[in-house]
Amino acid sequence: MVAAIDPSRLIACPMCDLLHSARSAQDGERIRCARCRTVLESSRPKAIDRTLASAATNVILIIGALFFPFIKLEGAGSRQNATLVDALSAFGGGLTAPLVLVVAAFIVIIPLMRAGALCYTLWPLRFGRRPYRHAARAFRFANSLKPWSMAEIFIIGVVVALVKVAGMAEVSLGPAFWMLVAMVAVLVLENHNFCRWTIWRILGQDSTV
Amino acid sequence: MDNLANTRTRQHGLTAREAGLIACTTCGRLDRAGLVCARCGATLSSRYPDSIQRTLAWLAAGIVCFIPANLYPMLITRTLGREEKNTIIGGVIELVNYGSYFVAIVVGVASIVIPVAKFVVIGLLVASIRRAWPLDPHARLHLYEITEFIGRWSMIDVFVVAILVALVQLDFVASVNPGLAAVSFALSVIFTMLAAQSLDPRLIWDSIEEGPSDE
Ligand SMILES: [Zn+2]
Ligand SMILES: [Zn+2]
């Protein structure tokens, strides 16, 4: 029995290890694990196009969010526009250094690397060409970065901070903040259109890893 | 999707491990043997090696960092010679005093309720796997998924501190500095996220069929 199993025609549930015979999801269908109901594969028409489009949009939005005014301060007689770059470089020494590192990593560096790696993986696939060298590594890297990209949490943090300083100064939000909000919206859409198993299957048709 | 024909008197089919296969959790490819997945290059293992020990180690690190995160100040404000120190709970109480109840709830849940719930849930999952507690595996998988999803949200307060420090740095007369708690809290969140990622959800199902593991 065991010897007759052909691994290439099976898939295993990543959450409970149950084997299923592999087949492609049809229009709009979601194939779920028979035991734990985890989605094994979902049919996402144009998954590559859409994921690529949202990754490219994200690169632009993150770079924009860095250099456009993020926050406008109106204190006693003075008026100031601050970008994220200003804010990050305004920090002094001491404990602020590790804090800057955490913030910069979670809201700028990791989302940017992730979007870049996705673009690198998906660009040739979109035209039906062979994947670039190390495409599998890039795509694996992009997937592992996902939980560490925290722009949506940062946005809530900005709102809480504004509530806290409400009495002390007139603070309003600039275009860079709304770019981050747009980026989160794009990520939500991307999540919906994304099926990593489908993309792995397309990547796997080429043997160069 | 049909699962494979039942080979035993059980409701469901064969697992990859029972079939002598190793499933890649990164890309879904199956292989008979090997250390590295031939499709995606991820390290291949039927179950994450030392999953329980790694989870417990990260969890312990997360709990250890959570203690100073609550004892030391998150934020140190100096205004004209006066120094004010705010702990996590102090910050929540201050929001309540200002009447910002909704924001107080958001911060309180993110900084206190979620981290503590996460410690308890991960501990419970590990114990249930090791002792093969007859808890519904579906419910446990759900708990695992929720924990993995929600843990990141604890980071809110760290971001709030960073934003306040940056804002004040740019303008005001006051000076605001992050306290030790800001860094240890961030570490606690990171370690607990790593704990959840180290736990192999497939172990939940194994323990039901194989009894207690001696890992
Ligand atoms: Zn499953
Ligand atoms: Zn793989």
* CB A150, CB A180: distance < 8 Å: no
CA of A28 to the centre of ligand 2 (A): 25
Query: B163 and A98: CB-CB below 8 Å?
Result: no
Per-residue confidence band for A4, with pLDDT thresholds at 50, 70 and 90: low
Query: B1 and A32: CB-CB below 8 Å?
Result: yes
Tokens coding B145 = 């998924």
CA of B95 to the centre of ligand 1 (A): 44
Q: Which residue in B118, B153, B170, B193 has the most chain A C-beta atoms within 10 A of its own C-beta, making it the best mutation to test that interface?
A: B170
Is the same domain home to A60 and A143? yes
Instruction: Report d(CA B156, CA A153) in Å as an integer.
Output: 6
pLDDT value for B99: 87
Per-residue pLDDT of A100-148, as tens digits, reads 888 899 999 999 999 999 999 999 988 888 888 889 999 999 999 999 9
Would you say how long chain B is, in residues?
A: 215
Region at A128 (left for phi over 0; alpha for psi -120 to 50; beta for the rest): left
Tell me the mean pLDDT in the region A149-174.
87
Q: Is residue A128, in this structure, part of any structural domain at all?
A: yes
Instruction: Report d(CA A35, CA A43) in Å as an integer.
Output: 20
Q: Which of A7, A16, A196 sits opposite B21 (nearest CB)?
A: A7
pLDDT for residue A2 is more than 60: no
Query: A95 and B156: CB-CB below 8 Å?
Result: no
Tokens coding B29 = 């490819």
Query: B166 and A87: CB-CB below 8 Å?
Result: yes
pLDDT value for A177: 94
Q: Is residue A79, in this structure, part of any structural domain at all?
A: yes
Q: Which residues of A touch B107 (CB under 8 A)?
A: 160
Per-residue confidence band for A208, with pLDDT thresholds at 50, 70 and 90: very low
* CB A96, CB B165: distance < 8 Å: yes
In DSSP terms, A135 is beta-bridged to: none
Q: Is A79 on the interface with B (CB under 8 A)?
A: no
Q: Which residues of B touch A188 (CB under 8 A)?
A: none
Q: Is residue A202, in this structure, part of any structural domain at all?
A: no
Is the same domain home to A51 and A134? yes
Q: Closest Cα partner for B25 from B44, B50, B7, B10?
A: B44
The ligand minimizing its distance to the Cα of A203 is: 2
**Position A9, amino acid:** R
Is the same domain home to A64 and A156? yes
Per-residue pLDDT of A45-57, as tens digits, reads 788 888 999 999 9
| H/E stretch holding B30 | strand B30-31
Does the domain at residues B51-210 carry the CATH identifier 1.20.140? yes
Q: Is residue A126, in this structure, part of any structural domain at all?
A: yes
Q: Which residues of A touch B177 (CB under 8 A)?
A: 94-96
Q: Where are the domains of chain B?
A: 1-46, 51-210
pLDDT for residue A5 is more than 80: no
Tell me the mean pLDDT in the region B128-156.
90
Query: A34 and B1: CB-CB below 8 Å?
Result: yes
pLDDT value for A81: 79
Q: What is the 3-state secondary structure (H, E, C) of A148-173?
A: HCCHHHHHHHHHHHHHHCCCCCEEEE
Is the same domain home to A74 and A170? yes
Per-residue confidence band for A149, with pLDDT thresholds at 50, 70 and 90: very high
* CB A2, CB B16: distance < 8 Å: no
Is the same domain home to A86 and A129? yes
* CB B157, CB A155: distance < 8 Å: no
Q: Which residues of B touch A151 (CB under 8 A)?
A: none
Per-residue pLDDT of B4-53, as tens digits, reads 443 444 566 888 888 889 999 888 888 888 888 888 888 898 899 899 99
pLDDT value for B2: 43
pLDDT value for B181: 93
Q: Is residue A208, in this structure, part of any structural domain at all?
A: no
- The reply to whether the predicted model has a pTM over 0.80 is yes
pLDDT value for A130: 86
Token pair 């949009």 is found at A57
Instruction: Report d(CA B172, CA B79) in Å as an integer.
Output: 10
Is the same domain home to A96 and A172? yes
pLDDT for residue A16 is more than 80: yes
Is the same domain home to A69 and A157? yes
Tell me the mean pLDDT in the region A158-177.
85
pLDDT value for B29: 86
| H/E stretch holding A69 | strand A69-74
Instruction: Report d(CA B168, CA B117) in Å as an integer.
Output: 33
Q: Is residue A205, in this structure, part of any structural domain at all?
A: no
List, as ranges, residues 40-59 from A with C-beta within 8 Å of B: 40
Tokens coding B121 = 């849930």
Is the same domain home to A139 and A178? yes
* CB B183, CB A108: distance < 8 Å: no
Is the same domain home to A75 and A151? yes
Name the packing angle between helices B202-210 and B137-150 (round to 10°).
160
Q: Is residue A200, in this structure, part of any structural domain at all?
A: no
**What count of CB pairs under 8 Å joins A to B?**
229
State the average pLDDT for chain A: 85
The ligand minimizing its distance to the Cα of B41 is: 2
Instruction: Report d(CA B33, CA A153) in Å as an integer.
Output: 41
Q: Is A157 on the interface with B (CB under 8 A)?
A: yes
Per-residue pLDDT of B50-97, as tens digits, reads 999 999 999 999 999 999 999 999 988 887 778 888 899 998 998 899
Tokens coding B68 = 């100073």
Per-residue pLDDT of A58-113, as tens digits, reads 999 999 999 999 888 776 666 677 888 877 776 666 778 888 888 899 999 999 99
**Position B138, amino acid:** H
pLDDT value for B73: 93
Q: Which residue in B78, B159, B205 has the most chain A C-beta atoms within 10 A of its own C-beta, making it the best mutation to test that interface?
A: B159
Look up residue A109 and give its DSSP letter: I
pLDDT value for A200: 86
- Rounded to a whole number, what is the distance in Å from the CA of B142 to chain A's nearest CA? 9
Is the same domain home to A175 and A120? yes
Per-residue pLDDT of B163-188, as tens digits, reads 888 877 766 556 788 889 999 999 99
Is the same domain home to A65 and A108? yes
In chain A, how many domains are there? Answer: 2
- Rounded to a whole number, what is the distance in Å from the CA of A7 to chain B's nearest CA? 5
pLDDT-above-70 percentage for chain A? 91
Q: Is residue A171, in this structure, part of any structural domain at all?
A: yes
Tell me the mean pLDDT in the region A32-38.
89
pLDDT value for B164: 86
Q: Which residues of A touch B142 (CB under 8 A)?
A: none
Q: Which domain holds residue A140?
A: 46-194
Per-residue pLDDT of B198-212, as tens digits, reads 999 999 988 777 655
Region at A74 (left for phi over 0; alpha for psi -120 to 50; beta for the rest): beta
| H/E stretch holding B159 | helix B156-170
pLDDT for residue A33 is more than 50: yes
Is the same domain home to A169 and A136? yes
Query: A95 and B180: CB-CB below 8 Å?
Result: yes
Query: A35 and B26: CB-CB below 8 Å?
Result: no
Tell me the mean pLDDT in the region B119-137.
91
Interface pTM, i.e. ipTM: 0.88
pLDDT value for B3: 45
Residue B139: closest CA among chain A residues belongs to which residue? A36
Tokens coding B140 = 């446990």
